[in-house]
Amino acid sequence: MIYPFIHDKAKMELLGIDKGMFTGNMQLSESLPNVEKVIEVDGKRRSVQTELDNILSESNKISKEIGKLFQSGEVQKANIAKEKTGQLKEKSKVLSDTLDEVETESKEESIFVY
């Protein structure tokens, strides 16, 4: 997760405000490419997280419907829904792995900002 102050510092630098600000031993103007990379990676992380959250939400919704379908005797519809949840779980696994990679990249990039 990117900290809000990094976004604020980058915005201030881009606007030319307070160029004397320091991040660690480096002036922000010197670290700006790193800040931009951190912001880019964080945007990617947020996007993947949102997609993963949506898939998990849909999977949970379908799982609840499966129980209702079995109770009402609609076994064929329930089995189709089970197949769909299986596909969503596979997709969520891929996204979860991608999220782990992006979070690692985000942590590595944010080290260079400080």
For residue 56, being part of any structural domain is answered with: yes
Q: Considering the domain boundaries, does residue 17 fall inside one?
A: no
Q: What's 114's DSSP letter?
A: -
Average pLDDT over residues 18-26: 48
pLDDT beyond 60 at 2: no
Question: Rounded distance, CA 78 to CA 83, Å?
Answer: 9
Specify the number of domains making up the chain.
1
In the DSSP assignment, the letter for residue 113 is T
Q: Is residue 84 part of a domain?
A: yes
Residue 74 has pLDDT above 50, yes or no: yes
pLDDT value of residue 17: 47
Q: How many CA atoms lie within 13 A of 51 on its CB side?
A: 17
Q: Is residue 66 part of a domain?
A: yes
Contacts of 51 (CB under 8 A, 6+ apart): 95
Specify if 58 maps to a domain.
Answer: yes
3-state secondary structure string across 7-67: HHHHHHHHHCCCCCCEECCEEHHHHHHHHHHHHHHHHHHHHHHHHHHHHHHHHHHHHHHHH
Beta bridge partners of 22: 27
pTM across the whole model:
0.67
Question: Per the domain annotation, does 1 fall within a domain?
Answer: no
Give me the mean pLDDT over the 69-84 stretch: 94
Question: Is 3 within a domain?
Answer: no
> Does 16 fall in a domain?
no
Q: Which domain holds residue 69?
A: 32-111
pLDDT at 99 over 70: yes
Q: Over range 39-63, report the average pLDDT.
A: 93
Mean pLDDT, residues 19-33:
51
